[in-house]
Amino acid sequence: MKFETKVIHGGTQEDPYTGAITTPIYQTSTYHQQTLGGHAKYEYTRGENPTRFALESVMAAIENGTDGFAFSSGMAAIHATMSLLKAGDHIVMANDVYGGTFRLVNRILTDLGITFTAVDTADSVALQEAIKPTTKMVYLESPSNPLMHVTDIAEAARIAHDSGAIAVVDNTFASPYNQNPLDLGADVVIHSGTKYLGGHADVLSGFVIVKDAELAERIKFIQMSIGAVLSPQDSYLVQRSIKTLALRVQRHNENAMALAEFLNNHPKVAKVYFPGLPGTPDYEIARRQMRGFGGMMSIELQPGLDVKQFVENLDVFLLAESLGGVESLIEVPAIMTHASIPRDIRLANGIKDELVRISVGIEDIDDLIADMTKGLDAL
Ligand SMILES: Cc1ncc(COP(=O)(O)O)c(C=O)c1O
């Protein structure tokens, strides 16, 4: 099946008990067992729930994996994946990962005896040099957050595998419509489903998708043991949203491309970070490994212009954290999404205080450009 068909018919979509086309919300914590110790398919919702299973199977289908696992947030999915590691293990991690991911590794995993090295994973020499005998995981985001840096996923996976590590890709920014890391050699794909998958800024969720039976068994065990599973209600909401994922992301891609070109030619904008603009190594790799360039970009205004005045004066672009919803959002990473990263590390990674991140929604592009024009002209 093609992607547009898989979001609607992939996985287990029809209810086996009633034939209902829309997956019912099985709002139950437990299930009546017919025999003592009989090991029925459904015993307890932390382990098994039909609504969650339906969502997990469509996620496996659209990421070209064998198994998907749904969690209560993106961070819960990342934590479950990191729980594959044990004391003494080492992670090579992209140096501009989501701030919450950095915090989890830097503040929680290090206390458990897991070490890490943060590098520019787009630089394959630096990535190779960061590998140690104890490296068990190479963890990256592409495009990255907030600088939209693109890593050659096939190359990073090859470097990981050559040293006996697994390659994990947080595919939140691209969405499965634009990129499928498992096809490029990654072992684990992660999503904050709170973003494009949910798509309407109304539900938190997270996903882990794998293509290997042993990894699937380990993640399933971790999911059930730690217990941060997605609820039946939220599973229903995300599955409903995924049915329109292809349509939504097509529009996100188109709007972002048009907005990036507009901003790139605007005299008050010093720099646009968007993988769809030709002339950068990011563009060349993105063209090879992505089907579309996504809806995320960051910009720097010309020196001296007031970022606070700019973001507060827009009407259509709402000042808010998060991304991937139908509505366009704007934020300042240094003060909002990336405030948990120490300033010296953030600056060393190129995330300046004045950087502005934009999640381009699916509104009419004329209204988006008019709002930006108004905001920039006022500066
Ligand atoms: C790339 C990326 N990964 C993971 C997360 C964490 O997801 P959640 O907020 O659903 O826990 C975020 C949140 O912004 C993100 O941007």
Q: Which is the catalytic residue, given 195, 211, 346, 357?
A: 195
Three-state SS across 208-266? Answer: EEECCHHHHHHHHHHHHHHCCECCHHHHHHHHHHHCCHHHHHHHHHHHHHHHHHHHHCC
Within 10 Å of residue 204's Cβ, how many Cβ atoms?
18
Q: What does the alpha-carbon distance between residue 242 and residue 199 come to, in Å, rounded to a whole number?
A: 8
Q: Which atom of ligand 1 is nearest to the CA of 337?
A: 14
Q: Is the CB of 145 under 6 A from ligand 1?
A: yes
170 tagged catalytic: yes
Q: Is the CB of 206 under 6 A from ligand 1?
A: yes
CB contact set of 11 (below 8 Å; sequence gap of 6+): 54, 55, 56, 57, 58, 59, 60, 61
Q: Which is the catalytic residue, given 46, 103, 132, 251?
A: 46
Assess if CATH 2.60.40.420 describes domain 245-377.
no
Instruction: Look at ligand 1, atom 8, and give the residue with the nearest C-alpha.
Output: 74
Tokens 């003060």 sit at which residue?
A: 335
CATH of domain 3-242: 3.40.640.10
Q: Is the CB of 172 under 6 A from ligand 1?
A: yes
Are the C-beta atoms of residues 331 and 93 closer than 8 Å to each other? no
195 tagged catalytic: yes
Q: What is the pLDDT of residue 80?
A: 98
Q: What is the pLDDT of residue 12?
A: 76
List of the chain residues with pLDDT < 50: none
Q: Which is the catalytic residue, given 152, 170, 234, 371?
A: 170
CB contact set of 249 (below 8 Å; sequence gap of 6+): 175, 177, 178, 196, 292, 294, 295
Q: What is the pLDDT of residue 13?
A: 67
Q: Residue ranges of the domains in the chain?
A: 3-242, 245-377
- Give the phi and the psi of residue 299 in degrees, each rounded to 5: -135, 155
52 tagged catalytic: no
Ligand 1 mean position, distance from CA 144 (Å): 12
Per-residue pLDDT of 184-198, as tens digits, reads: 999 999 999 999 999
Q: Which atom of ligand 1 is nearest to the CA of 75?
A: 11
344 tagged catalytic: no
